[in-house]
Structure 1
Amino acid sequence: MTSIDSIKSLVLDLPPSCIEFCSAARDYFVVGTYFLEKREQDASVAEGEKSKDEEDKSEDVGKKPQTRTGSLILFKVEGDEIITISTTPTPYAILDLHFSPHDPSLLAVAGSTGCLQLFRFSAATTSLESLSTYQFFDPAILALSLAWHPVEANKLGVTASDGGVYIVDTAVSVEEATGTGTQILEHELEAWTLVFSHNGSAIYSGGDDASLRFSTLATSEGQEEGNDFTPVQWQDRRSHQAGVTAILPLALEDNILITGSYDDNIRILSAPLVGRKQILAEENLEGGVWRLQPLHQDTQARSYTVLASCMHAGTRIVRVQADDDKGDWSIEVLAKFEQHKSMNYGSDAQPEASGYSGPRTIVSTSFYDKLLCLWRF
């Protein structure tokens, strides 16, 4: 296993929570930040130094919701340098962001005030333009993660702090958006993550209740034809020992998922539509596996390389491999990046240029130390 050092690092003004490169302009990436403003009564007390009595009193004073703010920071990679292009403050903290697979200049942002905001990235003017803000949920609910529907360009999946997993439609007007999300699944605690199946016919979600959940989805064609639809749903509460925080379906593998959890483990999971779910392999990555990002896949060899953001353990490069002769799966940690000294919630790899097969440029972040690092694998 290789230990990697950074080529360049920056300290940001606010804690970074998520990051993504723009596939349409591969040198640019966007970082979302999350800042929890201290209540007035906490302002003079250093974090982690309050007594239990003081904490109880803080909760009792006014019971006012805490204020969260954030920003979108646009960066450019030039060789070994990271250049800050622009910073856009937001009146909410940012918990997740993703460019659309249908229009790679369109960026969706999940906010701490129950909103989803769309931005337009222009490589020509190197700017992020605010388009629309949809207040799909009550402002007291945090939108925790989002995913674009792989087929229907206007639809997204959103998970929320109320445990709900929703489908929302940006084709509705901003004025009509409130309460228009369709709840598909429900967790008993926060719903941390979701992902669509590759053809958009189903959705997987993970929650703080340590459950992995699944539902088939109605198609637009079926709805137009007036067909009745009864979803097939299941939940798995046996495979994970803590919250489920990352889900990655493998391309061209029937019902095979890679999952991440607060219990520090990455798992390969067989998740058939009917029947018991089975752990095919697992590996302790020494930190909560918050996000999983595909780096490379060789579907013929059934080999997949994945970038894992592992909270207090930093970042890992992992290879997942099927052994057709034995019928087994294996997990191998290829490299680790441990320069981060606090929670690594966001990492992403620069999209590969056409015909390029050299080292991958990766940017990873950590929360409390506000650190952003560029490195290569």
Structure 2
Amino acid sequence: MTTVTSIQSLILDLPPSCIEFCPAAHDYFIVGTYYLEKKEQDSSTENVVEEDDDEKSEEVDKKPQTRTGSLILFEIEGDEVKQISTTPTPYAILDLHFSPHDPTLLAVAGSTGCVQLFRFSPSSSSISPLSVFQYFDPATLVLSLAWHPTSPNLLGVTVSPGQVCLVDTSLPESEVQDTGKEVLCHDLEAWTLSFSRDGKAVFSGGDDTHLRFSALPSSFFTSEASNDNKKVKEEEETKEEYLPQWQDRRIHQAGVTAILPLPSHPDILVTGSYDDNIRILSTPLIGRKQILAEEDLQGGVWRLKMLKSEPEAGNFTILASCMHAGARIVQVQRRGEGEEEWEIEVLARFEEHKSMNYGSDVQPGSESGGEQTIISTSFYDKLLCLWRSTLP
């Protein structure tokens, strides 16, 4: 295992919570920030997932708290990171993702029950705010989001009360309140979700240690409802439809925080948890879910990002954001021809972060291997680091 050092590091104005490179211009990336305004006579601190520690949810405070944030646009020039612009937001940002259907369209998960869209312009190196969708009560935190892989206007979101919902960005802003379609629900905060590769099902993980799965109603994938066909669509949604579902509460010993389905392996998931472990799971629709391999990464595995994918060979390289342990590059590999034997190897680690590493991403364009440029961040120390690692 190799220990990697940074090429450049810098301190941000606000704590960084999430990051993603711009698919329309690979030298640019965007960082979302999260700031909790402290109350008078309150010297306590809060992290982005708002816990007393890494495994327990915080006590609910009866008094409202003000959270704000920003989107920071950066550019990489050689070995240097340059800050281009900062866009303040009236809410803290917990997650952000560019659309796979439009590489300039960015969705942001807000701490006031909203999802906002932004437009990134490569020609002007700028971010422009678009629609703000107030899907939920302002006291609700939108904890994570994911674009649907085949329906351009659909997003999956998870929220602090525990629900996993589908929301529609084609609706007018003034009409979206309470339109989220609940597809799964956790007993505590729903930290993460991931669609199946074909978009016909969703996986989710929560602070209740549960990993959940549900097929999605076919009505979700009809074309956008117009005035003429809206009634037909509503009638379709009322029809009973058998939706296979399952849940597992035994595999993970703490909250489930990351889910990564493997390409060409429909029943195989890679998951991350507060219990510090990354796991390869067999998750057949019917039958027992089981651990095929697991590895202690020494920190809560908050996010997983594919670095290199060789589905036919059963070989995958993954970037893991490991909270208080920094970042890890991990190889997940199938042994033999079957689906039952897998192994995990930690290839490299980056440990210059002194607080929670929630956000890491890799510069697009080197998925076939070789040297990859990685940006990782940490929350309390507001640190952003540029480093590189050579993949096998």
TM-score, length of structure 2 as denominator length: 0.90
1:359 is paired with a residue whose SS is strand
* SS of match in other structure, 1:332: strand
Question: What is the CA–CA distance in structure 1 between the aligned matches of 2:44 and 2:378, rounded to whole Å?
Answer: 20
Distance in 2 of aligned mates of 1:325 and 1:106: 40
Letter in structure 2 aligned against 1:292: L
Structure 2 residue 199 is matched with structure 1 residue 186 = no
Partners of 1:2 and 1:240 lie apart in 2 by 28
**Deviation sequence 1:49-87 (CA, Å, 0-9, x none):** xxxxxxxxxx99x93211100000000011000010100
1:299 matched residue in structure 2: 311
Aligned to 1:364, what secondary structure does the other structure show? strand
Aligned to 2:158: 159
d(CA) in 1 for partners of 2:14 and 2:127?
Answer: 19
Contact 2:308-2:369 within 8 A present in 1 as well: no
Q: Distance in 2 between matches of 1:342 and 1:70?
A: 19
SS at match of 2:213: strand
Aligned with residue 236 of structure 1, among 239, 243, 248: 248
Whether 1:310 and 2:316 are equivalent positions in the alignment is: no
Distance 1:125 1:242, change over 3 A: same
Residue 263 of structure 1 aligns to a residue in which SS? coil
C-alpha separation in 2, matches of 1:325 and 1:353: 27
Which residue is equivalent to 1:268? Answer: 280
1:97 is matched with which residue?
96
Alpha-carbon shift at residue 300 of structure 1 (Å)? 2.0
Counterpart in the other structure of 2:355:
342
Residues 133-167 of structure 1 show CA distances to partners (whole Å, capped at 9, x for unaligned) of 00000000000000000000000000000000000
Q: Is 1:111 the equivalent of 2:123?
A: no
SS at match of 2:191: strand
Distance in 2, matches of 1:345 and 1:230, equals: 37
Shift of 1:357: 4.7
CA RMSD after TM alignment: 1.9
Unaligned runs of 5+ in 1: 49-58
Residue 230 of structure 1 and its aligned partner are, at CA, apart by 2.2
Matches of 1:302 and 1:364, distance apart in 2: 27
Matching of residue 331 in structure 1 with residue 331 in structure 2: no
> Which residue does 1:141 correspond to in 2?
140
Letter of the 2:158 partner, please give it: T
Looking at structure 2, the residues matched to 252 and 114 of structure 1 have their Cα atoms a distance apart, in angstroms, of 35
What letter is aligned with 1:34? Y
**Alignment map for 1:50-61 (pairs within 5 Å):** none
Q: Deviations over 1:95-144 (max 9, x none)?
A: 00000000010000000000000000000011000000000000000000
Within 5 Å, give how 1:13-24 maps onto structure 2.
Answer: 13-24=13-24
Distance 1:297 1:304 in 2: 5
8 Å contact from structure 2 (residues 366, 372) kept in 1: no
CA shift, 1:229, in A, is 1.9
C-alpha distance in 2, partners of 1:4/1:41? 41
1:250 aligns with one of 227, 252, 262 = 262
Return the alpha-carbon distance in structure 2 between the equivalents of residues 371 and 41 of structure 1. Answer: 27
Aligned equivalents of 1:329, 1:353: Cα separation in 2: 25
Matched-pair identity in %: 66
Distance 1:344 1:353 in 2: 23
Q: Report the counterpart of residue 34 of structure 2 in structure 1.
A: 34
Q: In 1, are the aligned partners of 2:159 and 2:191 still within 8 Å (CA)?
A: yes
Q: Helix, strand or coil: the match of 1:175? A: helix
Alpha carbons of 1:363 and 1:150: their partners in 2 closer, same or farther (altered >3 Å)? same
Structure 2 residue runs without a partner (length 5+): 47-58, 224-231
The alpha-carbon deviation at position 24 of structure 1 amounts to: 1.1
Match of 1:126 in 2: 125
Cα distance in structure 2, aligned partners of 1:299 and 1:266: 19
Q: Provide the rounded CA distance (Å) in 1 between the counterparts of 2:309 and 2:178.
A: 39
Cα distance, 1:353 vs. partner? 5.7
**Which AA in structure 1 matches 2:127?**
L
What's 1:174 paired with?
A: 173
Assess if the C-alpha contact under 8 Å between 2:275 and 2:299 holds in 1: yes
Q: Deviations over 1:211-264 (max 9, x none)?
A: 000000022249869464221111000100000000000000131000000000
Aligned pair count? 363
Mean CA deviation greater in 216-225 or 324-333: 216-225
- Following the alignment from structure 2 to structure 1, what is the Cα–Cα distance between the partners of residues 311 and 185? 33
Q: 2:183 & 2:217 partners in 1: Cα distance?
A: 10
Distance 1:353 1:265 in 2: 27
Question: Aligned residue for 1:52?
Answer: none
- The letter for the 2-side match of 1:159 is T
Tell me which residue corresponds to 1:66.
65
